[in-house]
Amino acid sequence: MSTRVFEKWYREDRLPHIFCTGCGNGTVMNCAIKAVDTMQWEIDDTVFISGIGCSSRAPGYISTDSLHTTHGRALAFATGVKMANPDLHVVVFTGDGDLSAIGGNHFIHACRRNIDMTVICMNNMIYGMTGGQGSPCTPVGKISTTTPYGAAEPVFDLADLAVAAGANHVARWTSYHTKELTKAIETGLATEGLSFIEAMVQCPTAYGRRNKLRNVTDMVEWMRTHAILLQKARRMEAEGVPIPEDHFTVGEFIHRHRPAMGVRR
């Protein structure tokens, strides 16, 4: 990131950040800010909104107006901001627990309404801030404070859920795939309607140390080797080759042009 971009978009007086050593959230923030700067948006016209959780601290480090809202309700607040002033660019930072558990219905209906905003979910597969509890995205068999013998429930596929619910742009990458993630966010920012970008991120403190991935490089390497390009996954499916349970797909899931709410006509 260039010095100009950093100085324009970040609140240097709020640094250093509170994220744990090795956390992937800072990488996603940088990718998002690069994309916003590429769009040539202005600080006064842009709002970052979040709920509660590790990822939700992100707007506090950014120089725009921001809202740090209640747990799971970021999309409801963001909808209010966008409907009150459609000229604002609205970006939401959220986590897998914040978005898919207590905020699940807000997520579904924001996609259904196709509100003109960009939602960036930092999915670390656990509740990182509140004690390491299992989230709806904790993989089967993985350890958390609430699943000490391994998670038994199947995970929510957030990208597939967003597609089914009606979002116009949906993509998933990881904190390893920085170029692809930045481009996916940029595409989302440029798309009318709801854009959902899921970023799989490492959490060595809450998730990694309970699942033999406490070393940051080990967890990043795990994401690299367990990510399957969507095109390859579809070929495998057509050929009857099963995708291993502990792998996940990355790429652009959909890009369409359903009518959007919150757009000035």
**Which pLDDT band holds residue 3 (cuts at 50, 70, 90)?**
confident
Q: Report whether 118 contacts 197 (CB < 8 A).
A: yes
Question: What is the model's pLDDT at position 179?
Answer: 97
| 139-191: pLDDT as tens digits | 999 999 999 999 999 999 999 999 999 999 999 999 999 999 999 999 999 99
In a domain, residue 263? The reply is no
**Which pLDDT band holds residue 129 (cuts at 50, 70, 90)?**
confident
Residue 265 has pLDDT above 90, yes or no: no
In a domain, residue 260? The reply is no
| 66-115: pLDDT as tens digits | 999 999 999 999 999 999 999 999 999 999 999 999 999 999 999 999 99
**250 to 17, 118, 120, 204, 244: CA distances (angstroms):** 28, 18, 15, 21, 14
The whole-angstrom separation of Cα 67 and Cα 265 is 26
Closest CA to 247 of 167, 179, 172: 172
In a domain, residue 230? The reply is yes
Question: What is the model's pLDDT at position 245?
Answer: 84
- The distance from CA 72 to its chain's CA centroid, rounded to whole angstroms, is 13
Number of domains making up the chain = 1
| 11-37: pLDDT as tens digits | 989 988 989 999 999 999 999 999 999
Residue 1 has pLDDT above 90, yes or no: no
Question: What is the model's pLDDT at position 88?
Answer: 97
In a domain, residue 265? The reply is no
In a domain, residue 110? The reply is yes
What's the CATH number where 157 sits?
A: 3.40.50.970
CA atoms within 13 A on the CB side of 199: 35
The whole-angstrom separation of Cα 189 and Cα 170 is 11
Q: Report whether 111 contacts 187 (CB < 8 A).
A: no
Question: What is the model's pLDDT at position 167?
Answer: 98
Please give the residue range of the domain that contains residue 129: 3-251
Q: Residue by residue, what is the 3-state secondary structure of the chain?
A: CCHHHHHHHECHHHCCCCCCCCCCHHHHHHHHHHHHHHCCCCHHHEEEEECCCCHHHHHHHECCEEEECCCCCHHHHHHHHHHHCCCCEEEEEEEHHHHHHHCHHHHHHHHHHCECEEEEEEECCCCCCCCCCCCCCCCCCCCCCCCCCCCCCCCCCHHHHHHHHCCCEEEEEECCCHHHHHHHHHHHHHCCCEEEEEEECCCCCCCHHHCCCCCHHHHHHHHHHHEEEHHHHHHHHHCCCCCCCCCEEEEEEEECCCCCECCCC
Q: Report whether 183 contacts 29 (CB < 8 A).
A: no
In a domain, residue 97? The reply is yes
Residue 264 has pLDDT above 90, yes or no: no
The whole-angstrom separation of Cα 154 and Cα 160 is 14
| pTM listed for this prediction | 0.96
In a domain, residue 37? The reply is yes
Q: What whole-number percentage of the chain has pLDDT above 70?
A: 100
| 34-77: pLDDT as tens digits | 999 999 999 999 999 999 999 999 999 999 999 999 999 999 99
